[in-house]
């Protein structure tokens, strides 16, 4: 789709009744996460979207960096993209420790591969998450 960058998996919100698609996995400036090129295989893929009832807020997971100043590591994190105000959408890191920073051991449990398990609810692999 137009607008897709270097991220292999992107998340879009389709606007019902139109052919408009809104790229979700971006920061407040509209930039996609960057691939941290971590040794453990984590990428800037965006996965596991969860939408609010009206579709204005979308939670998703990514190991990419650049969506929040508080996230500069290679671990899987949970973000919330709020599109309720189309003129001023926001992206918030929600898997944070009590100090407001991304957890160094990851916010979601991973299986044998590098991606979080998609068949169960996300849960912290770190006791310091305050999401």
Does residue 11 sit within a domain?
A: yes
Q: How far apart are CA 126 and CA 109, in angstroms?
A: 9
pLDDT of residue 106: 54
Q: If phi over 0 gives left and psi between -120 and 50 gives alpha, with beta otherwise, what is residue 29?
A: alpha
Q: Which of 80, 126, 128 is nearest to 106 (CA)?
A: 126
Does residue 10 sit within a domain?
A: yes
Cβ contact 93:77 at 8 Å: yes
Does residue 129 sit within a domain?
A: no
pLDDT tens-place string over residues 69-127: 888 777 888 999 999 998 999 999 998 888 777 766 555 544 444 444 333 333 333 44
Domain count, the chain: 1
Does residue 131 sit within a domain?
A: no
pLDDT of residue 10: 87
Cβ contact 76:107 at 8 Å: yes
Q: Strand 12-14 relative to strand 90-93: parallel, antiparallel, unpaired?
A: unpaired
Q: Which domain holds residue 49?
A: 1-123
Percent of the chain clearing pLDDT 70 (strictly above): 65
Does residue 128 sit within a domain?
A: no
For CA atoms 18, 92, 34, 123, give the dihedral sign: negative
Does residue 22 sit within a domain?
A: yes
In 3-state terms, what secondary structure has residue 81? strand
Q: How far apart are CA 12 and CA 72, in angstroms?
A: 24
Report DSSP state, residue 105: T
């Amino acid at each position: 789709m137009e607008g897709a960058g270097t991220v292999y998996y992107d998340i879009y919100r389709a606007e019902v009744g139109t052919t408009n698609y809104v790229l979700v996995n971006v920061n407040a400036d509209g930039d996609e996460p960057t691939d941290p090129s971590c040794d453990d295989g984590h990428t800037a893929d965006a996965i596991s979207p969860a939408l609010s009832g009206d579709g204005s807020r979308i939670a998703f997971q990514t190991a990419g960096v650049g969506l929040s100043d508080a996230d500069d590591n290679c671990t899987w994190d949970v973000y919330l993209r709020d599109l309720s105000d189309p003129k001023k959408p926001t992206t918030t890191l929600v898997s944070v420790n009590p100090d407001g920073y991304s957890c160094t051991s990851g916010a979601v449990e991973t299986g044998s591969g590098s991606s979080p398990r998609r068949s169960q609810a996300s849960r912290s692999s770190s006791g310091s998450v305050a999401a």
